[in-house]
Structure 1
Amino acid sequence: MHHLQLKFAALLASAAAVSCQNYAQLARKLSSTAHIYQPGSDAFNAAVLRWSNFSTPVANVVVVPGTENDVVETVKFANVHSLPFLATNGVHGSISTLGKMTHGIEIHMSQLSSIAVAQNGLTATIGGGVLSKNLTDALWAVGKQTVTGTCECVGYMGPGLGGGHGWLQGRYGLISDQYVSMNVVLANGSLITVDQRSELFWAMKGAGHNFGIVTSITSKIYDIQHPNYAMETLIFSGDKVEAVYALANQQWLTDGASMPVDLINWSYWYFDPTTDAEKPVIAFYIIQEGVQTVDAAHTNPFLQLGPITTQAVSGTYRDLAGWTGISLSSTPCQKTGNANPRFPIYLKSYNSTAQREVYDIFCTATTAPSSPFSNALFMFEGYSQQGVKAIGQDATAFAYRADNLLVAPLLTYTPNGTLVDAIASKLGNTMRNILFLGSGESSLNTYVNYAYGDETPVAWYGSDSWRQDRLCALKEDFDPRGQFSFYAPIV
């Protein structure tokens, strides 16, 4: 133990020494557009500010590359000085394993924000720092679109490394299913192009956080076929939990079915005393593509359950984030200083009994006097799945193409020491375990991009032994020292 303490102290001293003496050397190797931010500066503070202040990584310096080669030079510099490094972009990264980075270099990807549509209009090359909204707007301006994350403030690239869900996945598949090639800086500092000819391509589409820093991606893009969308919002009281989700199963998820290709169903649970002073409400969204009004065949059965309020809106694809509360200006995109852990699970359908049990726990947690979790949110994401399921189960490292629903409590709270963290962990895992037991599945399937951090690689990347063996073998080949191990590590 004494030896380990001395080694750790030496690493910290080394990081401080590098900070004082050697970053000028790195600066000379970077492009004129790159930046290096030191602690104490406003730019450094802004760059390291996290969306979730739960188990956060610690950086001694921030490098903002201006070119792909700047990433290469930064990784090489880090290797020479035995410094850890972590690439960042966008928000919503909240996994507890990030806290294992206790010093080192943050590589902030924001300047790698180019978007270039190919002359044939079939692909676009997208910088590793592009946000989902940036890409949606740039493509929309030329009559194109592709699958991106639903939330406007997340990066385009990051969600895809974990598979990546999006509004258009029923048509085209996951975000990562669109990838044609990617430029990747490996742990040794080499820049390579990865495509279907590379054995690494399979792993990057679902477990990519483990293998490199993606500096640019060439992705498939598509002509806009259905610009207009409509959404019906139905607010239910908590006593309707069983009825609402039993009806959702009956409408859309019976006998192995998934949502119709033009339909998405989301719902949130949250405590809103202005609507219900005693219990969390159920905000149930039915979103339909290519229409001005959601088809009554979808809405009428739910209207018969007696919602508290209803609201119908219509617009375009670009309105979806605002309607569902995840636009750039929405609360989930703000850096408020809160901790924001999630506890995700994939499901094939709803178990209405489990939904009731979990709702009752969530109700107590959010409405109890002085509860730290009064601003918690429970998310139920039911995307159309046809494009996802059309691709073989073994085609990529993403393992959960057969599942229909992405479910996760988001336990927003003010950080206040390890005790409240432990309470949040117990609460989130208790609710998730109830849903797992109610699913009848033999293994816990989780979305790595929402992961809390105490799940296992089996939960993140699939329970098939061949998947784990293949990922471990690729990890040994491309990152033998485990330098990319701060986000849901394979081993």
Structure 2
Amino acid sequence: MTRFSGFAAFGLLLFQSLVTASPRPCLDGLCSVTRLNITSQQVARELGPLLSRNSSIFGPDDPRFASTTARYQQYQPPTIKMVVQPGCEADIPKIVKYSNANSIPFLTVNRAHGLTATLGKFTGMQIDMGMLRDITIQKGGSTAIFQGGAYDGQVIDYLWDKGYVTTTGSCACVGMLGPGLGGGHGRYQGFYGMISDNIVKLNVVLADGQAITVSEKSHPDLLWAMKGAGHNFGIVTSFELKIYPRLVDTWYYKNYLWKQDKLETMFTELNKLHLRANKTRELAVNYGTYGVNASISTTEAVIWWSFTYAGPQKDAQQYFDAFDKIPAEFVEDGNVPYSGIPDATGSGVDQPLCAKGFEHVHSTTYLDVWNVTSQRQIYDLFQQKITQQPLVAGSIIMLEDYSTIGVKAVDPKTSAFPWRERNLMTFVSPVLPVRFQADIFFISSVHAVNFPPNSSLDAFAAEWAKETLDLFNKGSGIPPSTYVNYAAGNEPIEQMYGTEPWRLQKLRSLKAQYDPSGRFNYYNPITPAKY
């Protein structure tokens, strides 16, 4: 009887919504009519009674709104009109159906660390997953079920205390599913592959509000797509992921700070280490930044570099002897539980790297090796730009090299993630005073121009990000490619989702099947959003 009453109430609500709709353009262009000026109070009155007791609906006049909608990326952010916090997974299909009936675009948010400027095209309702963070280790201890709001630091701490580990991103403040649906690089990928490689099952709400289970036995085609392009297809309310016994009690970390005159020597040694580390999964990641450290100099950028090893110092030291010979301004190291590694290496929940409220005008690419000549050009350009415009002196260039053994062991045809053969990553981010956050993986570079919101600096930052990316790509010797979770949003689709024609054809076919109206077109969409 209860179920029938709930269904009938929803049907009546849907009828009333359509009757009171006004014939104005839709907020997202996906229907002929919309309740264009619907308020959060109206939504609370209509949708609220259908949701669980712990759910919440509020708008900008609520004291919770500012903190709930605060974002890591303030460059071209989404416009949030109201927030709905589901109290249980069963609320989410109801929220989606209500939103569809009233033509209210919706955007699902966990920890609000999305970087891409495509999110700036969104205006509508934020579905906030912050109350859905339960973790349940399954009988036998080979998998665990995580709700959609679980985040990296929470997962790392919980599993470590229980004697387990799993594949997460490297930054403790970031949600699990944000990186995971785009592949998900992290410190354990040398052992077990990326986050997406370990997905067993996803509980997904589709664009029409239908709740389905996605696995090898149920919708296997969608499972393939969501392991690398998942942001395009649905809301994951919970997921089952493989977990593993922790193999060591401590990890060893070592952080160095060098002046720029050590750049050529350092990158020459890093290239040697990269070749050696290809056979050593315990050397999980090394990464670093160009940036200003006021304790060394307020005007000249320095090089900070961090290494982490899955095991004790006595086993790790052989890899660091060459770097110990390079005179450093500062060195720190230690043996800590894995749960302490984020804080020890600058990516903890409460560290500056995770700070919200700043613009990050950025560019990024994968690499195969560190081109020493290019690195000198990129550093010199960095120094030139922060001298020219001191307001962006908080910018960084992030350079990352993860172990790729576990990633390359997976057949590339088994998931939508297209870049298993890439080795390094870069992140270029010009910004006002703040240090940039990024999840670390194989050789990758990210340039982030970081600054408090200031539109007068946007053009300067964008030009710098592009110039740096051009230098990376010129020196790489490989076609440009982009980790979708680091994408700026202006890259060609092929650069994010792969150049193999069969990949894009399959993704577009599945997009047409599961999200024909483009409800999930706000995060680096496979197909252009309809506006």
With the length of structure 1 as denominator, give the TM-score of the two structures.
0.94
Structure 1 position 251, deviation (Å)? 2.6
Q: Corresponding residue for 2:442?
A: none
Give % identity.
35
Aligned to 1:123: 143
* Whole-Å separation in 2 of the counterparts to 1:94 and 1:432: 17
Deviates more, 1:232-241 or 1:159-168: 232-241
Q: Is the 8 A contact 2:26 2:103 kept in 1?
A: no
Whole-Å separation in 1 of the counterparts to 2:150 and 2:518: 26
Q: Distance in 2 between matches of 1:261 and 1:178?
A: 17
2:153 is matched with: 133
Letter in 2 for 1:424: A
**1:24 paired residue number:** 45
Q: Deviations along 1:379-412, whole A, 9 cap, x unmatched?
A: 1111111110000122211111111112101211
Work out the CA distance in 2 between the residues paired with 1:228 and 1:87: 36
| Contact 2:144–2:242, Cα closer than 8 Å, also in 1 | yes
Shift of 1:122: 0.7
1:446 corresponds to: 482
Matches of 1:220 and 1:149, distance apart in 2 = 15
Report the AA paired with residue 412 of structure 1.
Answer: N
Contact 1:228 1:292 in 2 (8 A): no
Equivalent position SS for 1:382: strand
What code does the residue aligned with 1:225 have?
L
Deviation at 1:334, TM superposition (A): 2.1
Question: Which position in structure 1 is the counterpart of 2:362?
Answer: 342
CA contact (8 A) 2:148 2:238 kept: yes
| SS across alignment from 2:373 | helix
CA distance in 2, matches of 1:339, 1:106: 20
Further displaced range: 152-161 or 370-379 = 370-379
Over residues 404-435 of structure 1, what are the superposed CA-to-partner deviations in whole Å (9 max), with x where a residue is unaligned? 11210121112222x42222112112111211
1:232-254 superposed Cα distances (whole Å, 9 cap, x missing partner): 22211112222211221123238
Does the 8 A contact of 2:160 with 2:338 survive in 1? no
In the TM superposition, residue 16 of structure 1 has moved relative to its aligned partner by 2.0
Separation in 2, partners of 1:278, 1:141:
43
Gaps of 5+ in 1: 1-5
Q: Distance in 2 between matches of 1:446 and 1:296?
A: 33
Say whether 1:390 aligns with 2:409. yes
Does 1:203 find its partner at 2:240?
no
2-structure distance, mates of 1:95, 1:344: 11
Task: Give the partner amino acid of 1:426.
Answer: E
Q: Where does residue 190 of structure 2 map in the other structure?
A: 170
User: SS where residue 296 of structure 1 aligns?
Assistant: helix
Query: Quick one: distance in 2 between partners of 1:10 and 1:274?
Result: 49
Instruction: Work out the CA distance in 2 between the residues paired with 1:193 and 1:425.
Output: 41
TM-score by length of 2: 0.87
Partner of residue 268, structure 2: 246
In 2, Cα distance between the equivalents of 1:92 and 1:20? 27
CA shift in 2, pair 1:211/1:8, >3 Å: closer
Tell me, in whole angstroms, the C-alpha distance in 1 between the residues paired with 2:371 and 2:363. Answer: 18
In the alignment, the residues of structure 1 paired with residue 41 and residue 84 of structure 2 have an alpha-carbon distance, to the nearest angstrom, of: 15
Structure 2 residue identity aligned to 1:476:
A
Kindly provide the amino acid, as one letter, of the partner of residue 238 in structure 1: Q
1-structure distance, mates of 2:313, 2:352: 27
Q: CA deviation at 1:68?
A: 1.3
Equivalent residue, structure 1, for 2:235:
213
Question: Alpha-carbon deviation of 1:310?
Answer: 2.0
Counterpart contact for 2:107–2:127, Cα < 8 Å: yes
In structure 2, do the counterparts of structure 1 residues 294 and 376 end up closer, same or farther at CA, with 3 Å as the change threshold? farther
Q: 1:211 to 1:309 in 2, by over 3 A?
A: same
Residue 312 of structure 1 and its aligned partner are, at CA, apart by 2.2
Structure 1 residue 259: deviation in Å?
Answer: 6.4
Shift of 1:13: 8.0
> Structure 2 residue aligned with 1:420, among 448, 451, 457?
457
Residue 17 of structure 1 deviates from its aligned partner by 2.6
1:435 paired with 2:472, answer yes
- Cα 1:64–1:129, aligned 2, differ >3 Å: closer, same or farther? same
> 1:181 is matched with which residue: 193, 201, 218?
201
- 1:362 paired with 2:399, answer no
> What is the 5 A alignment of 1:264-413?
264-293=285-314, 295-335=316-356, 337-368=357-388, 370-407=389-426, 408-413=446-451
Say which of 156, 162, 170 aligns to 2:176: 156
Q: Which amino acid aligns with 1:95?
A: T
Letter in 2 for 1:474: L
Conserved 8 A contact 1:150-1:167 = yes
**Corresponding residue for 2:18?**
none
Structure 1 stretch displaced more, 199-208 or 316-325: 316-325
1:3 alignment partner in structure 2: none
Instruction: Give the conservation status (yes or no) of the 8 Å contact 2:216–2:223.
Output: yes
**In the comparison of the two structures, how many residue pairs are matched?**
479
* Match among 467, 470, 473 for residue 506 of structure 2: 470
Q: Distance in 1 between matches of 2:281 and 2:295?
A: 35
Cα 1:189–1:232 change in 2 (3 A) is same
1:22, distance to aligned residue in structure 2 (A): 4.2
Separation in 2 of the partners of 1:322 and 1:38? 34
User: What are the ranges of 5 or more consecutive residues in structure 2 without an aligned counterpart?
Assistant: 1-23, 427-445
Amino acid at match of 2:396: L
Q: Distance in 1 between matches of 2:27 and 2:163?
A: 55
Cα distance in 2 for partners of 1:83, 1:441 equals 43
Match of 2:125 among 87, 105, 113: 105
Structure 1 residues 243-252 or 474-483, which shifts more? Answer: 243-252
Partner Cα separation in structure 2 for residue 179 and residue 389 of structure 1: 17
- The answer to whether the 8 A contact 2:27-2:103 is kept is no
CA distance in 2, matches of 1:281, 1:185: 47
Amino acid in structure 2 at the alignment position of 1:39: P
- Provide the secondary structure at the position in 1 that maps to 2:114: coil
1:58 pairs, out of 61, 79, 85, with 79
1:81 pairs with 76, 81, 102, which one?
A: 102
Partner of residue 163 from structure 2, selected from 126, 143, 148:
143
Contact 2:78 2:119 (C-alpha < 8 Å) held by counterparts: yes
The answer to whether the Cα contact below 8 Å between 2:248 and 2:310 also exists between their aligned partners in 1 is yes
Aligned-pair CA distance for 1:8 = 6.5
Name the SS of the counterpart of 1:136 in structure 2. Answer: helix
CA RMSD in angstroms, aligned pairs only: 1.9
SS in 1 for 2:204: strand
For residue 484 of structure 1, what is the amino acid of its counterpart? F
Match of 1:191 among 211, 221, 240: 211
Task: Name the CA shift for 1:122/1:374 in 2 (closer, same or farther; >3 Å).
Answer: same
Whole-angstrom CA distance in 1 between matches of 2:28 and 2:193: 48
Residues 95 and 341 in structure 1, CA contact (< 8 A), matched pair in contact too: no
